[in-house]
Structure 1
Amino acid sequence: MGVKDQTGQLSGSKHARNADEEMQDASFSEDVTEVHSDLRTKRPKSGHKAEVLEDLTLSKLSAFDLKVNELLKEVVVSGKRVAKALSFVNSLKKTIRKISEVREAPFWDAKKKLEHDYKLIIPFPQPLPPTDTNIKLSYKPPVSVEVSGLFGQDQACVSPDGWSIDLLIEIPGDLFTDKDYLNLRYFHKRAYYLAKIAGKVTKSLKDSCEISFTFLNDDTRKPILEIVPKDQTGSAKKHYRVRLLPYVNERFRIQKLLPHKNGIRTVESTEDHSLLPTPKYNYSILEDTSLGYYAKCVKEVASSPYFVNACALGNVWLNQHDFSSSVHECGFGFHEWCSLLAILMSSKDISAGFSLSSYLPAVQLFKGTLMFLASKELENSILQTNGSIDTSHFSSKPTFFDGRTGLNLFHKVNPVFFQKLQSAARHTLRLTGAADADAFDSVFLTKVNSPIMLYDVYGYIPVQLSVEEGDVTKDSDSAFTNYLDDIYQLLKRGLGDRIDFLTVFSATQMKWGLKDLWYTALPKEISIGILLNPDVSIRVIDIGPSAENEAEAAAFREFWGELSELRKFKDGTIAECVYWDCPTPEDRRRIPQRIIQKVLSRHIASTVGDCVRFVHDGFSDVLGRTALVNSTDTFHEFVPVLNAYHEAVKTVMTLEDMPLAIADVVPADEALRYSSSRIPGAETYATSPVNVVFNFESSARWPDDLESIQKTKIAFLLKMAEVLNAEENVERAMVGLENNDKPKFNNCFLQVMFTNGFTFNFRLRHDRELTLWDLRLKRRENVQEAKTGKFAYEHDFQFIPRHTLAIQAVCQKYRSCSKAIRLAKHWFYSHLLTDHVSDEIIELLAASVYVNLNSWQVPSSGETAFCRMLYFLSTWDWRFEPLIVDVNENMTADQRNEIRHAMDQHRKNDVSLSHAAFFVAVEYDLESKYLGWLTPSKVIANRITMLAKASFQLLTSTTPDLKLLFQPSLTSYHCIIRLRTSKLPIFREKAKLEYKNLQMLVSNRPGFDPVKSFVEELMRIYSDVAYFFYNKNGPRLIACVFDPRVLEPRPFKISLDYPFVVQKSGNVTLDIDLVMEEIRRLGGDMIKSVERV
């Protein structure tokens, strides 16, 4: 949509983002009018005490709590929708209870008959028993068929894909023997029992539902049946599925299934007594046998009015972090959350620090659960509840052992995902505990685990394995799980200390038809996510063991193969090592990716390593790199210009024969704060002079008149130029003029071109000027000029230097911030928004990702920070919310309140948003006076939001083409002015990079930018008629949008100040063809063509 279409959208929206819009951001879109749940659930039956506690809580509701209440209305389902689903579930119960008994028969005979009768394939786990097995299969009606968890209270929690009803089917215990916990016998009988139910249910439901097998928590030993009615349309709240979960209730002795016991016996292991523990296998059985117990616990605690809401909040939080019960992901999902919360609220032997009262509000129960997850005790100790047991042989952590069921509630959570789970819990508590932060959106509405915004390196690895009938997977549930573990171990070893975090997972749910084999549903690829260690991630050499350590050296050579070589280092050490040859900076930037590909090619298959896809690689071609520094960190690419700056400062500070000594020199340019989109260097100096502000020591001989001060400045700068021209390291120094039509404004600067190829513009600050502008305002002398003059002085001589030092400090603290800013500027420029958004605002937008407390922790890569910035722009309601950037990370609550008050007052006084559409505030500009007062306009701000939404949608697509992020759409404009690049200095400078004989040419006009001057002239002439857009980094064209008001026919007036054409009706409209011809004439040889779109 073009800029011309934005005004109506903005003016037509009178309210802040309401609950519907917030839910759309969280993928829970539905009209509030359709919500049937009510937050005000019944009070507990505990009498007056509970009522008093609730009244006290309601009287102290914060803004956070009020937003939570609105969220709960969207994510808790009850009423008519639950009643409809319950009716369907009751019909399923009747069907299941009517299934007739099947007499006991040998395994293979029973299998053959059932598959023949119902035309399905029983989802037996692998391996199957031998043909001569004595296992018998049979079917008896279930002991009970009951709904599980919260649905027992006629409520359910909504996820982005709908909500689930778990129907627990208890298998009669006499179908199993005491030894059936061994060698998959329980799981084989369970699969047969499920297949019998599936066959009967399929016949009963016919074509009214989609019926398929899937796995409980992606454990291939435990298939379940999923039923989805076909008559469901609309939002997630209207979509439900029913899952049939067969289980046996506490049939096997817990002592036989403790984690140090073995449950998979083979002839070989029995003979040599090498019975290794099988904790995963054992816990898989215990998880089944405890389903009924935890369902009962949840039902009992769910009588509390706040338990369901706390579970709903937990469900939202888990979904936003992509935490699930899957063994291939986190291993901690909604079921575990509800069970854990039920234990914390009901168990008598939980330590006082973690025990939760049923009278606590939902938010406090939510925080209490997070506190338990984030606790050091869970990280370092083995916790128990409901009795005690000898845990000396327990080695895995985290462990929260329930003596009643023998189950470790965290048995599916491996150490890597536990680190991620704890980190998320701790960060969320930090957000909710920060008094100055608006935590609600960050905690509940932001999709935190979007890979493009979470990881520094994110990619996909193809799956290459075969699942055969006879595969023995030992403790693991399948060869696929083994594949994930192998990939993780290989990459962990190969990447070493280059990474801070590595995860290998599959987010694909395996689902297949009743007539298909289960392993046809295996994912085709798996995902990897990496957080880099910025200090060593691009190290070019990995040093291995010493040659004297033969065993370790041999293992090193075996791992790395032909990449390993023996080297002698400067300290005399001889060691095995791997050297990564990096002919180009891009090769070095990709060292982690190259390691991944090499390791997988060597240890898995070359077809796997060669086919790895990395999402972030699309950014590699975005930033044009110079040949100045062979580094992949753009922070270091600014070293030459900073060295040149220090040389320039030293030169001017030591000048002699000057009337006054220079007291101070401060940087005032984007190049000196590591944030210019083009790196200033010897090859690009002609279009990139660097701005510097300086002042002389105080003197009483300065004139006391603004115009006289400007003339005195010229005299001083002429003297400096004369002295500097005699310096050996100065190529040329001269005085430049500006603001010629404003004699009271600063109208001169000293341009110094040094022999190192860098050019600096020195502007002289005199503090008396500000006092004189204030006096003019006080005396009401030409108030408008005084306001403009004071603003210009404060902006150029106070704000810009302070901003430069602030951003410089942020980039020095967070090295990747420089690249994030450069990517952000490239994005704004590429969409032709040059000069419509100030560089300072862009820099603060990118820096806010690092210094502000938000949904994520501080990023390690510029690409990740850039993606987060786009997400912020796509969701920021700038009409009502200020962007407060705490650049020094010490902003007080009073300052934040002052900023919000300033914005409220400004919005009241400027309802049309003619100024400060983006209200961006920092410590040195609390009122957004210098940052966004003029740009972006209301129309441009709206367009930025739409561009950011489209860009973020592209980023989160399955196969994003990142180059499209930086390609502008020209269909929204009325005409396009194409330029002759051969006439533009910026392209001539690029030619110097290609031809060495041109590199030493010196431009006579450093800083000359004809395109910028041309656009400024067009804006001056057609300010009431058109808007102009261009990309200052690659100005191949200028796009034009005409004001919709001048395109509409209107009566002729003699005061019309634009060319018009008379319509048949006698009304007049803008003469676009004549305007285009005028533009062509003004541009002269610089214009290639002017085209209407």
Structure 2
Amino acid sequence: MAPSTKRKASSSQDASLKKNKTEEENSILALGMDDDYLDDGDVNEYDDSLYGGEAADDSGSDGDDENQDYIDGDDDEEMLDDSEAAVGRPTILEEKNDKNDKRFVNLKVKNTSITSDKPSVAPTNEEIQNLKETQDLFNSNLFRLQLLELFKQVKVDYSKLTSLESALHQIKSIIEKMPDQDVDVYSNNIDNVKIFDSKGESKDVSIKFTKPTNVDVIGSFMSRTVLKQNSNVDMIVEIPSPVLNSKDANDYKYFTKRNLYIWTIRQELIKHARFVDTSFTNFDGDINKQILVIKPKEDAKTGAKTKFTIRIIPTIAKETFKYQNKFNPNTNCILLQNETNQFKIETFKEDDSSAQQQPLPTTDKVDKKKKPFDSIQRSPFYNNAILEDIFIADHMQLIYSKTTSAPVLVDTILLLKLWLDLKQIPTINGFHLTMILIHLYTNGKINKSMSSYQAFRMVMVFITRDFQSKPYLYMNLDEESPIASTPLVYREAFEKLYPVAIVDPSGMLNVASRVSVWGLRTLVQEAKLVLENLDSGNGFEEIFMTKNHFYLSFDLVIKVQLDKDNCLNTTPTNDYYQVDRYLEHKIYTTLRKAFSKRIKKISIVNNNAQKNATWTTDMPQPEDRIVTVGINVNPENWLSVIDLGPAADHVNAAKFREFWGAKSQIRRFKDGSISEAVTWTPKNNLRHLVLEEITKYILNLHLKVPTTNVSSIVHQLDALIYNPEVEDQTLLALKAKDTLVNTIHSLNLPLAIETFPSMAPGLRYTSVHVTQDTTFTNNEPLTVLLHFEQNKNWTNDIESINALKTAFILKIARELQDTPYNPKLSKEYVDLQCEGFLFRLIPYYPKEADFMREQWKVENLPQLELLQRSTLHHTYVHSLHTAHPTYGVTVRLALRWIHSHLFTEYIDHKTIELLVASLYRVAENSSQLVPQTALSGFLRFLFLLYTFNFEEKPVIVDHLDNITKDDLNKIQSTFDLQKQSANPPLIFIATDKDRTNTWFRSTAIKDQAIFNKIKLFAEKSIHLIESNYLENNSTFNWLSVFETSFLEYDVVFQLNETLVPSYSREISNLIYNKKFTNPSIAAAAAAAVSAPTTKKSGGIIFKNVSAAKPKPTTNSTSTQNSGLVCGLNPVSTLVSIIKEKYSNYCKVYYDSVGGSKILLKWNDDIETPFAFKPSKSQYTTPMFKKDNLIKINIDEILNEITLIGGKLVKSFKKNENTTTSTST
């Protein structure tokens, strides 16, 4: 090749590498809100287009007219498209959906060093060819290896299907030998297939069965494109012409006879032992068309059993009806509706008025005699459903012929199906994407010399660029097509009737007739993410191993139970409207209009369990279905309680009132305007329930859905958030802090205080402990630094600085003595009481740390550095919550889960805050968005624990997007180095300020066994929630994931509940809404002053009372606490003592938030005898039958713990796996 030619090729490749950066535009229209009592900042302006103009399309079309450099079949096959962007990553991670998924068991690649003493050899010709193909056809060698390994996991071995082949032959033989017979609905009591009997005539619900004209295997099995995890085989049975007559094309008679035909075949098959497990299911979810599903038993001769499922689909020959004239989109086959003159067809487009739009522009000569579109009575959906049965075999033959001539299409179809299976795109199936692929291949956009990667990418490019802006695809017509001479004769009908059309080679059938508006949007969105991932170089895991889950895709979910009345009375009868599909569309359009600017995205979620349901007896009815609606909210508007409408005299005011019904009222607003408005009052004033309230009202108004049939997945954990016992008190605490700061500023203090930086979770919205308590018995101290002002008069002597700090807080204590602040002084801090909060003030001079380093006096340096870092951490967390108000609530839920499963002592508060903070970073090329509800945030936290590969990747915390790609590479390098150290961190968390994971590494979790247990609990919790969600289990209590079992622990200490701080917050009390009438903690503690204590080194080990009662003050607003030391938690103190004294014998577990139990887990060697040594003689007892051997005396340890605990310990009980014993 000449140099100039090479440069041209290179230039073409560079041009094709340009990435489509346009983002999906969000143009969902909305109503506003405001009234006389709301701030102006809460107003959403009224949008006139919802009530007067054409509904806006929020499909995200960006109007990009840039042409894609496709590869034509006639072009040089060495030229590549923009698939040359770097793809791949150093490590292939586990599939995020299920760590134990056997499909991907071999896809995890470790970085290993390879050493060999063998001399290197030259590559073979085969290796050179592979390298050349990799360079030409794939993005990287790693990506090619990943795909090769993936194909091993998902491809079917067709050489090992002897049992399946024998089953197929037997089925074919049985069906072909079936005798002629009369089949009548009434005489056979048939109720497990759909029967249409509009006239009540028995002749319309009976058939004269004769054996099929043809029985054959079709579909993915023949083209070798079956996914291993979705292994099924399709067989067609062609209904012979004598079974049907020309009149059966009208008024659903064909569908009745079709279903009776397949029913008769089942009756014959179940007579044979191997095929007794034969049931019905709907064809592609169509409740009017049934097919058979067979799960063959083992072969009686060989004993072999196949895992394949066999589906039998009835078809009809083209000659059965004059389909050219009878079933085109402009003819009518539902004659029973003639007298009603229902000409208007309700479409499934964004706006039902789409069918009334003006005709599409065309270059053809205008036919003046042509009737207006809406004046023609037609049944296009009905006709399309029959055409499906006519052309299904032709479609399969088309796919088979193309895949045979271009083997690359086989692997591409497998990739498309796998991707679709993981992403769960609603109303889209593998057949749709396969037809798009075949279309691109036929038109030269894909050629047989491409790799599967390139072909897969070209499909994604076509979807995002061409199909998004115009979702109407017309395949090349067959020579036998009845409209070959007028190829676009039905274009107007397809584009007015359907939101998406893939018109087959006949030119008459839309194979994408069931694709919805929300399905198309989701498809385009996911395709864009594919291209972004491929271009980023980190695409394989996200594309082919990451499954979409409802809690990752949506902020909240609404479930609507269909009702028999609305199913029957709402659905039109002038065309083939599948009841469930029609109601899904009506629910979607109604809610989308009602939610308006409250949401960013709304979608009807796939429910494969319902869609693929099978039955043998009674056929499931539409009213048995639950419609699941997924919503991504607009954080700025979704909590609004008023929807603002047009002015009272506006031309669209009547339409607004018509839509909202009695809820619409005329209101006067602060600016003097008078407008229509709708006001909402969510239950218990909880604004996150407003969408559920809107849904209940609007669906009841327009679709007659009972309000009891609507529920939402957003409030299931409210008992842990909005219960008065656990209500967040940060705003009150910040107000009290301001009061305290003003008071301190007013004192005559010798040193100036520059700032009062906070450190406590109770001042940043993430505390799960009590912060406000006027008895000051339950308070978690709120730590605040006294940040001294820097000046030249400060000494650099460390001891002098410490003396100054102590004198300073002593001065504060003296100034506030005999005031409601009730100061309590220690050497390091002073505690002050203010408005029910306990503030702990710590003096801090920023230059002290520098002086320590200069003078090599670093003994207390870590404590000073921790103070400094904690204030920066506090500022970051506080700003994150300000930007994302769900953050603090999510942290509190995560902490409650950690504490309730007794991990209080093993993973610290800051680590949880940072792990949750990582969820608020929008990862590049990820479909996961920032959680906008507490429930979705909590579920994503569990999912993070369960699926994140902490051994291979650092956790990135960066909600401000300050960390660049180069920074990420440096962080990864630091992570790799730390992993090679002798004591690598279990969790590496990198923030903008701490990119080396050093700030809080000393306090982070260090026990691998405990961390594995936390991840296991997260996995179990996620699986429990997801299984109940998929099963639509309305009785499932989501709070059960916070309950833990005590069976695995060896000893359970039951504490005296009246002495446990915040006992009312114990998780079981919140779950079961337990009410308390016991005496106050303060009174109970006062009675426990005489509790037994144990002394060590002459001092009291466990004591929660001071030597003398404080002097009461007449000005104090707080209730006196009977001598209790404020801020001292007796339970955590006892736990600390147990850990200090008995860490060589056991691990201790407890819930620091009101937990009334302390649990012990003995070390594995607790019962192992060992030789006597004086240094190891404590808590031992001799073994009489073994000389000089002793063992740990468990009872002595337990009794000593009971003695230390005093009245705090009510009893203890050993687990049954040892010796059950109770001591009181």
TM-score normalised by the chain length of structure 2:
0.73
Structure 2 letter corresponding to 1:291: I
**Structure 2 counterpart of 1:301, from 376, 381, 402:** 402
Structure 2 letter corresponding to 1:864: S
1:620 equivalent in structure 2: 718
Native 8 Å contact 2:975 2:988 kept in 1: yes
Structure 1 letter corresponding to 2:961: E
- Superposed counterparts of 1:534-933, under 5 Å: 534-543=635-644, 556=657, 560-561=661-662, 567-571=667-671, 577-581=677-681, 584-586=684-686, 588-599=687-698, 608-623=706-721, 625-626=723-724, 638-645=730-737, 659-678=750-769, 680-681=771-772, 687-719=779-811, 731-732=821-822, 735-737=825-827, 748-755=828-835, 757=837, 759-770=839-850, 772-773=852-853, 776=856, 786=858, 789-798=860-869, 800-853=870-923, 854=926, 856-910=928-982, 916-933=985-1002
Native 8 Å contact 2:798 2:851 kept in 1: no
Distance 1:466 1:665, change over 3 A: closer
Deviations 1:193-234 (A, max 9, x none): 43454444445x44444112222111133221221112399x
Structure 2 letter corresponding to 1:1064: F
1:56 equivalent in structure 2: 135
- 1:282 aligns to 2:361 (yes or no): no
Give 3-state SS (helix, strand or coil) of 2:880's partner. helix
Distance 1:850 1:306, change over 3 A: farther
- Superposed counterparts of 1:333-482, under 5 Å: 333-348=429-444, 355-375=445-465, 377-380=467-470, 382-386=472-476, 389=488, 391-393=491-493, 394-395=495-496, 396-402=498-504, 404-435=506-537, 439-450=539-550, 454-459=554-559, 461=561, 463-465=563-565, 473-482=573-582
> What is the root-mean-square deviation in Å for CA atoms of aligned residues?
4.4
**Structure 1 counterpart of 2:218, from 148, 151, 165:** 148
1:1059 equivalent in structure 2: 1179
State the shift of 1:341 in Å: 2.0
**Structure 2 counterpart of 1:84, from 159, 163, 171:** 163
State the shift of 1:95 in Å: 4.0
Native 8 Å contact 2:97 2:547 kept in 1: no
Rounded Cα–Cα distance in structure 2 between residues aligned with 1:49 and 1:539 = 64
Number of residue pairs aligned between Structure 1 and Structure 2: 1000
**Structure 2 counterpart of 1:191, from 249, 256, 259:** 259
State the shift of 1:192 in Å: 4.6
Rounded Cα–Cα distance in structure 1 between residues aligned with 2:952 and 2:652 = 66
Distance 1:464 1:925, change over 3 A: same
1:1069 equivalent in structure 2: 1191
**Structure 1 counterpart of 2:338, from 264, 268, 278:** 268
Question: What are the ranges of 5 or more consecutive residues in structure 1 without an aligned counterpart?
Answer: 1-15, 34-46, 103-109, 324-329, 349-354, 738-747
Give 3-state SS (helix, strand or coil) of 1:527's partner. strand
Structure 1 letter corresponding to 2:718: S
Structure 1 letter corresponding to 2:717: F
Distance 1:531 1:750, change over 3 A: same
State the shift of 1:1070 in Å: 1.9
State the shift of 1:950 in Å: 1.7
State the shift of 1:831 in Å: 1.2
Rounded Cα–Cα distance in structure 2 between residues aligned with 1:305 and 1:805 = 58
**Structure 1 counterpart of 2:630, from 529, 535, 538:** 529
Structure 2 letter corresponding to 1:1001: T
Give 3-state SS (helix, strand or coil) of 1:957's partner. helix
State the shift of 1:1077 in Å: 1.5
**Structure 1 counterpart of 2:1141, from 1021, 1024, 1029:** 1021
1:1033 equivalent in structure 2: 1153
State the shift of 1:134 in Å: 8.9
Deviations 1:421-444 (A, max 9, x none): 333333444445445xx5544443
Structure 2 letter corresponding to 1:340: I
Distance 1:442 1:465, change over 3 A: farther
Rounded Cα–Cα distance in structure 2 between residues aligned with 1:398 and 1:576 = 36
Deviations 1:250-295 (A, max 9, x none): 5655676455554423353487876544443233233333323331
1:246 equivalent in structure 2: 314
Distance 1:358 1:761, change over 3 A: farther
Native 8 Å contact 1:816 1:860 kept in 2: yes
Give 3-state SS (helix, strand or coil) of 1:715's partner. helix
Give 3-state SS (helix, strand or coil) of 1:294's partner. helix
Rounded Cα–Cα distance in structure 2 between residues aligned with 1:572 and 1:553 = 21
Distance 1:466 1:454, change over 3 A: closer
State the shift of 1:398 in Å: 3.2
2:79 equivalent in structure 1: none
Give 3-state SS (helix, strand or coil) of 1:687's partner. coil
Give 3-state SS (helix, strand or coil) of 1:222's partner. strand
Distance 1:640 1:995, change over 3 A: same
- Superposed counterparts of 1:58-137, under 5 Å: 61=140, 63=142, 65-98=144-177, 111-112=183-184, 123-127=193-197, 131=201
2:292 equivalent in structure 1: 225
TM-score normalised by the chain length of structure 1:
0.81
Give 3-state SS (helix, strand or coil) of 1:618's partner. coil
2:483 equivalent in structure 1: none
Question: What are the ranges of 5 or more consecutive residues in structure 2 without an aligned counterpart?
Answer: 1-89, 108-125, 344-374, 478-486, 1066-1074, 1084-1116, 1216-1224
Rounded Cα–Cα distance in structure 1 between residues aligned with 2:1076 and 2:798 = 44
Deviations 1:445-474 (A, max 9, x none): 444134687341343525434989999733
Rounded Cα–Cα distance in structure 2 between residues aligned with 1:93 and 1:806 = 69
- 1:955 aligns to 2:955 (yes or no): no
Distance 1:372 1:58, change over 3 A: closer
Structure 1 letter corresponding to 2:868: F
Rounded Cα–Cα distance in structure 2 between residues aligned with 1:26 and 1:216 = 32
- 1:1080 aligns to 2:1202 (yes or no): yes
Deviations 1:123-155 (A, max 9, x none): 455345663979996667656544333321445
State the shift of 1:735 in Å: 4.5
Native 8 Å contact 1:453 1:864 kept in 2: no
Rounded Cα–Cα distance in structure 1 between residues aligned with 2:326 and 2:465 = 31
Give 3-state SS (helix, strand or coil) of 1:584's partner. helix
Distance 1:649 1:63, change over 3 A: farther
Structure 1 letter corresponding to 2:255: F
Distance 1:812 1:1057, change over 3 A: farther
State the shift of 1:871 in Å: 1.7
- 1:216 aligns to 2:272 (yes or no): no
Give 3-state SS (helix, strand or coil) of 2:1053's partner. strand
Rounded Cα–Cα distance in structure 2 between residues aligned with 1:227 and 1:556 = 53
Distance 1:691 1:93, change over 3 A: same
Native 8 Å contact 2:419 2:544 kept in 1: yes
Give 3-state SS (helix, strand or coil) of 1:230's partner. coil
Native 8 Å contact 2:138 2:454 kept in 1: no
Structure 1 letter corresponding to 2:764: R
Deviations 1:51-81 (A, max 9, x none): 7762426886365554443332222212344
